[in-house]
Structure 1
Amino acid sequence: MKNAVVILGGAFNPVHTQHIALLCLAKQELEVNGQWNIIGGYLAVATDGYVCHKLHSRNERTIKLKHRLALAHEAIKDIPWLINSPFQEEMLKKHDGSAFSLGQRLKSLLKNDNIQILILVGGDRMIKKGVPIWRKSSNKTPIIRVGIERTMNNNDNNLFELWQKDLNENLIPNPEEFILLNTPIRSVSSSLVRVYLNQWFNTKEDSQKQFEIENDLININSFLHSSVINYIKKYQDDLYIDI
């Protein structure tokens, strides 16, 4: 059994329930056959510059990095294995640039080169321009990417079946660099979550409407943790980067 940590990178603008569910599902599925012992799970939160650039063309606002880091803490604080991950508080104090960079800093703090870094990749990012990323040979420092299918309405694609087919046809030059989990997870649109938040901010004068939106986000659609909403309400006047 190998010790490992799982890391999910992204904008987390804001962090939502399926980001956390992805970490928990990965731990569960990776440990089920006894090959891996997951000792920690982490969110690698992107820079303000990256997120601003990503959202500018969509005319969407960017939550400040300090608040996105704090929201990540709020989202995991009631999940023991996540909040008690080694150096978790340290990881949430500053940005590392990427999931890979966070993993390297974590390994240096753990002082244990035998701990494997597993980087989670949503099924949508395992395919680039119609081609699975596992078909390309990696020239970088070897890492292991863990792909998890995200279920979408009317989505007939099966990432795991494609992986098995490519394995059988010897189309994967470095199969040891990938793990495909055959357990789809519900997809949550981050853009849709931001639409709800914009509606919430635009109805400040209508407390009943705001309550209804909060109920949609927390209870009906289960998009956001209640602690995340509470943090947003507390820091709403300082939450976003001024454009």
Structure 2
Amino acid sequence: MSSDINPSPPPPTMDFSNPPNYTFPTHRLARFLRNPDKQPVVLVACGSFSPVTYLHLRMFEMAKDYVRQNTDWEIVGGYLSPVSDQYKKPGLLNAQHRVTMCNLAADLTSTWLMVDPWEAFQSYQRTAVVLDHFDYEINTRLGGIPLADGSLTKKPARIMLLAGSDLIATMSEPGVWSEPDLDHILGRYGVLIIERAGADMDQAIDALSRWRHNIHLIHQLVQNDVSSTKVRLFLRRGLSVRYLLPSPVVDYIEQHGLYMDDGPTASAAAGAVQSEKEKGKEKEGADSSSNAAC
């Protein structure tokens, strides 16, 4: 087995804004690296999770299998990072409900997944900044992952984005993501992409060939096209969503009468496109002002 990603130096200390009473979750982060020769990796999935589905959870298991069979990395943690309410997606359920559902799903169906509410309870944060946040919390504040139980020696963890193939399709579309952000996400961190039914990834990946070594495509051996959009549609039509979502999430939705009137059926990918476009323009404007001042 070989690794396509070499450990990068830790980022400079950054001033991140934190939501009120925020604490970074580490209760399921590996206490030590089982194999000291391997590269510790933390998976981060960003998204609406409105609601979280079995496919969202299944993505982490598929990534874990891929890593075990094809690399010399070791997964030491997995995080769901629900997006802010300021994501500008029509009909987006409020963050409190989405974070609660993600916690129910992670706590009651997994032994290693966690939910980080940092992104959810503040202004919209670009994906590149979210990954920097995880890098800072795990590698700067915690100092990395101990090499052995009780060891004082620690190894920096590689933060990697975990996403469906619709995300890489938007990344390959000109003008959607800023070039600096793409280079930061794909060049510094890398991404594990879960193939979705009917998606043709070859063209998208070719358009991102500069970062091809950091893009890892994972094929679904059992096809699953469950999406949050379809689940919301079912709920509005009064159809059952049992066995599409974890039972505690279904119970929570029914208890609170969620998604009975969801508004326009905009997809998460559409929301991502719009948000990244706007944030990219803001960043370019700030960069231009900074350069002019110098």
Q: TM-score, normalised by structure 2?
A: 0.58
Residues 180, 68 of structure 1: alpha-carbon distance in 2 compared, 3 angstrom cutoff: same
Whether 2:117 is the aligned partner of 1:92: answer yes
Whole-angstrom CA distance in 2 between matches of 1:223 and 1:237: 16
3-state SS of paired residue (1:13): coil
Whole-angstrom CA distance in 2 between matches of 1:236 and 1:183: 33
1:210 alignment counterpart: none
- How far does residue 196 in structure 1 lie from its aligned partner after superposition? 1.6
Aligned partners of 1:5 and 1:116 also within 8 Å: yes
Listed as ranges, the matches of 1:137-148 within 5 Å are: 138-140=182-184, 142-148=188-194
Aligned partners of 1:67 and 1:239 also within 8 Å: no
3-state SS of paired residue (1:217): coil
3-state SS of paired residue (2:96): helix
Whole-angstrom CA distance in 1 between matches of 2:251 and 2:102: 13
Listed as ranges, the matches of 1:228-239 within 5 Å are: 228-236=249-257
Aligned partners of 1:73 and 1:92 also within 8 Å: no
Whole-angstrom CA distance in 2 between matches of 1:189 and 1:146: 18
Whole-angstrom CA distance in 2 between matches of 1:143 and 1:123: 17
3-state SS of paired residue (1:4): strand
Aligned partners of 2:169 and 2:204 also within 8 Å: no
Cα-to-partner distance string for 1:56-109 (whole Å, 9 max, x where unaligned) = xxxxx3321011001001111121121xxxxx36x2366273554443333333
Residues 36, 129 of structure 1: alpha-carbon distance in 2 compared, 3 angstrom cutoff: closer
Listed as ranges, the matches of 1:103-114 within 5 Å are: 103-110=131-138, 111-112=142-143, 114=156
1:65 alignment counterpart: 95
In the alignment, which of 40, 54, 66 is matched to residue 89 of structure 2?
Answer: 54
Aligned partners of 1:7 and 1:119 also within 8 Å: yes
Listed as ranges, the matches of 1:101-180 within 5 Å are: 101-110=129-138, 111-112=142-143, 114-128=156-170, 138-140=182-184, 142-151=188-197, 155=198, 158-159=200-201, 166=206, 172-180=209-217
Whole-angstrom CA distance in 2 between matches of 1:120 and 1:15: 15
Whole-angstrom CA distance in 2 between matches of 1:72 and 1:106: 18
- How far does residue 115 in structure 1 lie from its aligned partner after superposition? 0.6
Whether 2:247 is the aligned partner of 1:226: answer yes
- How far does residue 172 in structure 1 lie from its aligned partner after superposition? 1.9
Aligned partners of 2:168 and 2:204 also within 8 Å: no
Could you list the runs of 5+ residues in structure 2 that have no partner in the other structure? 1-37, 145-155, 264-294
Aligned partners of 2:40 and 2:74 also within 8 Å: yes
3-state SS of paired residue (1:9): strand
Kindly report the root-mean-square deviation, in angstroms, between the aligned alpha carbons of the 2 structures: 3.4
Whole-angstrom CA distance in 2 between matches of 1:226 and 1:104: 33
Could you list the runs of 5+ residues in structure 1 that have no partner in the other structure? 56-60, 83-87, 201-212
- How far does residue 131 in structure 1 lie from its aligned partner after superposition? 5.7
Whole-angstrom CA distance in 1 between matches of 2:218 and 2:202: 7
Aligned partners of 1:7 and 1:44 also within 8 Å: yes
Q: Among the aligned pairs, what percent are the same residue?
A: 22
Q: Give the letter for the 2:110 counterpart.
A: I
